[in-house]
């Protein structure tokens, strides 16, 4: 009782401090400590929500439910009849009574499956002949699904430290799941803590695509360290310095390199960021500005280019949305026609050009640039732990050849892994379409690993053969490159785990369901779709995951809504193209702003910029472009105004914003 009184007094004092408006003066540790005390008190009065209860009559019917159940989501429920008790069911269709509703189920080998949606706590009753099985189910409320990503984002912005923030988001999600599985609050916290590692982290590391990204990132890091140690970076700096004579030209060269490496956003961020960082450091361009340029020429370019590692996923997502519709168009044709509505990616490039050309910045980016210009910084080429001797020679070819191998090798790998003889022998298709479909069908992760591995081997061989380093020293450089990627790999792993958790909690279903349930005028569908995709992508940190979930939901809904309004085929297709592109551009915009996004993390990592600083400085720029794209592009485009009018008007608005609000500094 004495302990409880102390806790109670602490809680009263905490509430008093809030009432007298002294909360901003409190330390973060003090707040967390007292929140923990309050949590302990609450746990005494809310032991558990109750496990799923089973009551089977005659014990002949077994109901198998998924481990995690969320309300207002369709689930496949499996029914199994116990054959050892003399019951044999192997019929094509059997009528069951599910909650007093007749349901037709296909049975095979005594097992059948039907779809059911839990709208709240309920008793699931399944009856077949005289056999009845009852389960009391307590699903997780769907709105709980926004808690983990929301906490991760809020704590990331508050603590300015992403590892702890993502971990807190994960812990909140695993706690919710454990609690609704029947554990009390204390045990839910304990089980949730350990499930972060034994379930979600192991799950995402068992994903071949995630492992490919980790391996590719490590090999890129190794390549950068080796070409730094052998003088290749110094040679590149010496050559590019002839053109990058000031801050403006240095930023332009960075932007051009980002556009050139258009075919993959991961390769773009890692290659451009690591390659240009020594040059931008020398020209006193802030790491935040470098990360912004790298991030803004990665996903935006990859999302609109014809030949990218995105095209296959984009086409498959579009196709998934077309399966229930009777539209006589191919996914690739729809993709091409939707490009005219790619306002956010195109305006992002234009906005970046205006910032660089007019030598202006505003918001947190201006202060970051001003701080970098006035502060004496040390040019760090790859990592602060790298202390090798200065190479005897500094040939730019030592860097150009390995980096060129990554670029050309990736493109070659994309062609080899996506080659189909039926496509290339089809005379009705143009060469460009053949190449686009080949890249779309390729294995981008395998191509990236091939190219980066070859680049490391070539870089080491060039270093050893020129007697710049011994083989042993080169291997130490490779290991140093692996070490330099450790922090980013940990952050990526936690971000992937959070994305897997939000997928199980159906976070995207919550957001899309809220907006789709509200019928809107047809001309606002692209704008609303853009906002839905942005919110979902921001919360989950995955543009690809957002597209995968929203396309099957948004495309049929938008098409049926246009038909309900009695629009013609051409009018409906105009709205449909806008919706298709709005999902992609909204996903890219939300991904740009999210601190738990993998491409955002990679951009800050490759630029050696503090991750939260990158998010904080990029956010005003991304939201500015998105606002202009929405008001002057997407919304009027829904009314049928031509993009030939909207694009110039949007560029004029962006130029005015930079001119009016941007602050100029000496170069």
pLDDT of amino acid 345: 93
pLDDT at 537 over 90: no
Q: What is the CB neighbour count within 10 angstroms for residue 422?
A: 6
Q: Which residue has the tokens 């390199």?
A: 257
Confidence of residue 632 (pLDDT cuts 50, 70, 90): very high
Two structure tokens written together for 22: 């002294």
Highest mean pLDDT among 32-41, 77-86, 263-272, 446-455 belongs to: 446-455
pLDDT of amino acid 85: 47
pLDDT at 324 over 70: no
Classify residue 121 as left (phi > 0), alpha (psi -120 to 50) or beta.
beta
pLDDT at 19 over 60: no
Mean pLDDT of 114-129: 75
Query: What are the φ and ψ backbone dihedral angles of 69, each rounded to 5 degrees?
Result: -120, 130
What is the percent of the chain with per-residue pLDDT over 70, rounded to a whole number?
A: 75
pLDDT of amino acid 56: 46
Classify residue 93 as left (phi > 0), alpha (psi -120 to 50) or beta.
beta
Confidence of residue 114 (pLDDT cuts 50, 70, 90): confident
Angle at 412 between CA 410 and CA 417, to 5 degrees: 95
DSSP code, position 633:
I
CA distance 33 to 36: 5
Mean pLDDT of 399-403: 83
CA distance 179 to 420: 50
pLDDT at 31 over 70: no
Query: What are the φ and ψ backbone dihedral angles of 98, each rounded to 5 degrees?
Result: -110, 110
Mean pLDDT of 506-534: 77
Burial tier of 572 (Cβ tally within 10 Å: 0-12, 13-18, 19+): buried
pLDDT of amino acid 387: 42
Mean pLDDT of 393-401: 76
pLDDT of amino acid 663: 85
Of the candidate ranges 4-8, 450-454, 457-461, the one whose mean pLDDT is the lowest: 4-8
pLDDT of amino acid 343: 94
pLDDT of amino acid 46: 54
* Helices vs strands, H then E, count in the chain: 30, 10
Using DSSP's 3-state secondary structure scheme, residue 360 falls into strand
CA distance 408 to 260: 12
pLDDT of amino acid 247: 87
Domain 53-139 has CATH 2.60.40.10: yes
pLDDT at 20 over 50: no
pLDDT of amino acid 17: 47
pLDDT of amino acid 313: 62
pLDDT of amino acid 16: 46
Cα–Cα distances in angstroms (integers) from residue 295 to residues 244, 250, 404, in the given order: 20, 16, 21
Higher-confidence position of 324 and 565: 565
Query: What are the φ and ψ backbone dihedral angles of 71, each rounded to 5 degrees?
Result: -70, 155
Mean pLDDT of 116-129: 75
pLDDT at 292 over 60: yes
Q: Which residues of 363-382 are buried (b: 16+ CB within 10 A; e: fewer)?
A: bbbbebbeebbeeeeeeebb
pLDDT at 40 over 90: no
Strands 360-361 and 61-64: unpaired
pLDDT of amino acid 97: 56
Is residue 498 a contact partner of residue 149, using CB atoms and an 8 Å limit? Answer: yes
Of the candidate ranges 13-22, 355-364, 490-499, the one whose mean pLDDT is the lowest: 13-22
Distance of CA 132 to the CA centre of its chain: 45
Burial tier of 580 (Cβ tally within 10 Å: 0-12, 13-18, 19+): buried
The closest alpha carbon to 434, from 385, 442, 72, belongs to 442
Mean pLDDT of 547-551: 71
Query: What are the φ and ψ backbone dihedral angles of 547, each rounded to 5 degrees?
Result: -65, -40
pLDDT at 545 over 60: yes
Q: What is the 3-state secondary structure (H, E, C) of 189-251?
A: HHHHHHHHHHHHHHHHHCCHHHHHHHHHHHHHHHHHHHHHHCCHHHHHHHHHCCCCCCHHHHH
User: Mean pLDDT of all residues in the chain?
Assistant: 77
Mean pLDDT of 231-238: 71
pLDDT at 496 over 70: yes
pLDDT of amino acid 645: 93
Distance of CA 372 to the CA centre of its chain: 30
CA distance 505 to 176: 10
Q: Which residues lie across from 94 on neighbouring strands?
A: 105
Length of the chain: 667
Mean pLDDT of 482-491: 78
Angle at 620 between CA 616 and CA 626, to 5 degrees: 130
Two structure tokens written together for 521: 């005028």
Of the candidate ranges 258-262, 336-340, 575-579, the one whose mean pLDDT is the lowest: 258-262
The closest alpha carbon to 182, from 273, 54, 305, 86, belongs to 54
What is the percent of the chain with per-residue pLDDT over 90, rounded to a whole number?
A: 14
pLDDT of amino acid 124: 76
DSSP characters over 381-396: SS-TT--PPPPS---T
Cα–Cα distances in angstroms (integers) from residue 1 to residues 124, 185, 186, 313, in the given order: 43, 20, 19, 60
CA distance 179 to 188: 5
Highest mean pLDDT among 124-128, 160-164, 310-314, 645-649 belongs to: 645-649
Q: Which residue has the tokens 């948004």?
A: 554
pLDDT of amino acid 237: 63
Higher-confidence position of 560 and 67: 67
Two structure tokens written together for 549: 């979930």
Burial tier of 340 (Cβ tally within 10 Å: 0-12, 13-18, 19+): middle
Cα–Cα distances in angstroms (integers) from residue 572 to residues 316, 441, 523, 558, in the given order: 21, 29, 10, 9
- Whole-number CA gyration radius for the chain: 28
Confidence of residue 39 (pLDDT cuts 50, 70, 90): low
CA distance 55 to 64: 13
Q: What are 579-594's pLDDT values in tens digits?
A: 999 989 998 999 888 8
CA distance 42 to 184: 11
Burial tier of 384 (Cβ tally within 10 Å: 0-12, 13-18, 19+): exposed
Higher-confidence position of 316 and 389: 316
Q: What are 181-232's pLDDT values in tens digits?
A: 878 888 888 888 998 888 888 988 888 877 887 888 788 878 878 887 887 7
CA distance 455 to 227: 10
Higher-confidence position of 417 and 261: 417
CA distance 394 to 227: 10
pLDDT at 487 over 50: yes
Confidence of residue 461 (pLDDT cuts 50, 70, 90): very high
Cα–Cα distances in angstroms (integers) from residue 215 to residues 134, 198, 222, 292, 611, in the given order: 49, 22, 11, 25, 21
Query: What are the φ and ψ backbone dihedral angles of 466, each rounded to 5 degrees?
Result: -85, 0
Q: What is the 3-state secondary structure (H, E, C) of 148-199?
A: HHHHHHHHHHHHCCHHHHHHHHHHHHHHHHHHHCCCCHHHHHHHHHHHHHHH
């Amino acid at each position: 009782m004495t302990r409880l009184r102390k806790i109670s007094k602490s809680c009263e004092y905490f509430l008093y401090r809030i009432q007298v408006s002294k909360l901003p003066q409190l330390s973060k540790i003090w707040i967390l400590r007292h929140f923990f005390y309050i949590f302990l008190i609450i746990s005494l009065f809310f032991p558990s929500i109750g496990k799923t209860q089973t009551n089977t009559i005659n014990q002949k019917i077994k109901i198998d439910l998924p481990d995690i159940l969320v309300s207002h989501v369709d689930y496949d429920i499996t029914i199994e009849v116990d054959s050892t008790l003399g019951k044999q069911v192997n019929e094509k269709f059997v009528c069951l009574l599910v909650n007093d509703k007749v349901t037709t189920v296909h049975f095979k080998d005594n097992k059948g499956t039907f779809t059911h949606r839990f709208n709240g706590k309920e008793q699931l009753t399944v009856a077949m002949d005289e056999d009845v099985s009852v389960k009391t189910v307590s699903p997780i409320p769907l709105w709980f699904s926004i808690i983990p990503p929301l906490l991760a984002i809020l704590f990331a912005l508050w603590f300015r430290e992403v590892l702890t923030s993502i971990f807190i988001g994960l812990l909140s999600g695993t706690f919710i799941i454990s609690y609704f599985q029947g554990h009390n609050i204390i045990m839910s916290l304990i089980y949730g803590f350990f499930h972060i590692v034994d379930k979600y982290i192991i799950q995402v590391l068992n994903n071949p695509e995630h492992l490919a990204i980790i391996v590719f990132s490590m090999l890129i890091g190794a390549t950068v360290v080796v070409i730094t140690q052998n003088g290749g970076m110094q040679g590149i700096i010496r050559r590019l310095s002839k053109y990058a004579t000031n801050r403006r030209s240095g930023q332009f060269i960075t932007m051009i390199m980002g556009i050139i490496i258009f075919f993959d956003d991961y390769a773009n961020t890692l290659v451009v960021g690591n390659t240009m960082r020594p040059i931008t450091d020398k020209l006193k361009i802030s790491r935040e500005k470098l990360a912004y340029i790298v991030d803004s020429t990665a996903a935006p370019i990859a999302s609109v280019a014809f030949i990218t590692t995105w095209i296959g996923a984009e086409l498959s997502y579009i196709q998934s949305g077309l399966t229930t519709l009777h539209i006589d168009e191919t996914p690739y044709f729809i993709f091409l026609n939707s490009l005219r509505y790619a306002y956010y990616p195109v305006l992002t490039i234009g906005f970046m050009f205006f910032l660089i050309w007019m030598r202006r910045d505003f918001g947190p980016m201006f202060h970051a640039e001003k701080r970098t210009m006035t502060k004496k910084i040390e040019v760090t080429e790859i990592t602060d732990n790298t202390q090798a001797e200065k190479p005897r020679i500094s040939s730019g070819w030592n860097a150009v050849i390995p980096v060129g191998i990554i670029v050309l090798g990736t493109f070659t790998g994309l062609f080899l892994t996506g080659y189909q003889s039926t496509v290339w022998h089809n005379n009705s298709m143009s060469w460009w379409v053949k190449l686009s479909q080949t890249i779309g069908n390729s294995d981008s992760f395998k191509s990236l690993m091939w190219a980066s591995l070859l680049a490391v081997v070539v870089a080491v061989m060039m270093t050893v053969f020129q007697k710049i380093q011994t083989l042993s020293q080169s291997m130490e450089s490779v290991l140093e490159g692996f070490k330099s990627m450790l922090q980013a790999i940990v952050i990526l792993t936690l971000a992937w785990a959070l994305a897997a958790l939000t997928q199980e909690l159906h976070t995207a279903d919550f957001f899309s369901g809220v907006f789709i349930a509200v019928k809107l005028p047809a001309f606002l569908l692209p704008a609303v779709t853009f906002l839905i995709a942005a919110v979902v992508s921001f919360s989950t940190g995955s543009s690809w995951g957002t597209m995968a979930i929203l396309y099957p939901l948004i495309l049929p809904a938008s098409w049926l809504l246009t038909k309900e309004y009695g629009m013609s085929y051409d009018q409906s297709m105009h709205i449909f193209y806008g919706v298709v592109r709005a999902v992609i551009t909204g996903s890219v915009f939300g991904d740009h702003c999210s601190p738990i996004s993998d491409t955002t993390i990679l951009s800050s990592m490759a630029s050696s910029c503090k991750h939260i600083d990158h998010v904080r400085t990029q956010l005003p720029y991304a939201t500015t472009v998105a606002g202009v794209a929405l008001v002057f592009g997407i919304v009027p485009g829904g009314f049928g105004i031509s993009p030939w009018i909207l694009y110039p008007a949007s560029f004029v608005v962006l130029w005015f914003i930079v001119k009016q609000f941007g602050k100029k500094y000496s170069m």
